[in-house]
Amino acid sequence: MITLGALNELNGLRHGFFTRAGGVSTGLYASLNCGYGSDDDPAAVTENRRRAMARLDLAPEQLVTLYQVHSPTVVVVDRPWRRDQAPQADALVTIQPDLALGILTADCAPVLMADPTAGVVAAAHAGWKGAQGGVIGATVRAMTGLGAEPQRIVAVIGPCIAQRSYEVGPEFPARFTASRPDDADFFAPSRRPGHFLFDLAGLIERLIGECGVTTLQRSPNDTVAEEDRFFSYRRATLRGEGGYGRGLSVIVRRR
């Protein structure tokens, strides 16, 4: 489990970006796959989630996750729900203590945020589509609706695909620069003519800053390159593998 100092310094808060190690899944999903959306054995996923929650001294039923769809939709959570009742959304916000907000990723960026004064925490799933669609701004607005203030929010960007591993085609930059020309900063030429390397975490960092959040930390990890530590959709796709696991990221305010 990886933690980042910006959140570690806050009292009454626990968080973690779980690696793929320490679970019971096998094969493509070895070993701490926490995503029911994979083709892994659901019983193994349930045990993996139980182990992850135990690392945070929580019961498995305290974990709340979503049916993620790469949207800007944010859900304000006041109690856990059953797995079959998970809403389609990509961010969670709560003021409730001991309610663990969980995000599942395999190259997309998990973003965890907290305003310790207001007691508000949030977790967001931000791939390129969600980031462009406004999930970061929507999450901060939901936090402020519960009493948070942007200048008090501490945000961290967890392990995700790094720019060196994120090659995109010639049509991709225009999706961003047509409406935000300065976002051309996040595209560097790749070795293949007409292709680019995309800095997803850099874009998310800018979007967080545009919300008025000034305290931010980024993980240096690359989920594609660090195969022994992270699941990766892109790595699995390039290899033609039939499936991939999902890593869990969690934030919780303790009583």
Q: Average the pLDDT over 178-184 and give the result.
A: 97
Per DSSP, 27 falls in state G
Residues 6+ apart with CB under 8 A from 174: none
Q: Average the pLDDT over 206-218 and give the result.
A: 98
Q: How, if at all, do strands 154-157 and 100-105 pair? A: unpaired
Per DSSP, 51 falls in state H
Per DSSP, 115 falls in state E
Q: How confident is the model at residue 22 (pLDDT cuts 50, 70, 90)?
A: very high
Q: Average the pLDDT over 12-30 and give the result.
A: 98
Q: Which fold has domain 5-246?
A: CNF1/YfiH-like putative cysteine hydrolases (3.60.140)
Q: Average the pLDDT over 171-198 and give the result.
A: 97
Q: Average the pLDDT over 183-198 and give the result.
A: 97
Sign of CA dihedral 228, 224, 113, 5: positive
Question: Does the reported pTM lie above 0.95?
Answer: yes
Per DSSP, 29 falls in state G
pLDDT score of 90: 98
CA 195/CA 189 separation, integer angstroms: 6
Q: How confident is the model at residue 196 (pLDDT cuts 50, 70, 90)?
A: very high
Could you identify the residue written with the tokens 């933690």? 3
* Cβ-contact 142, 74 below 8 angstroms: yes
End-to-end CA separation in angstroms for the chain: 22
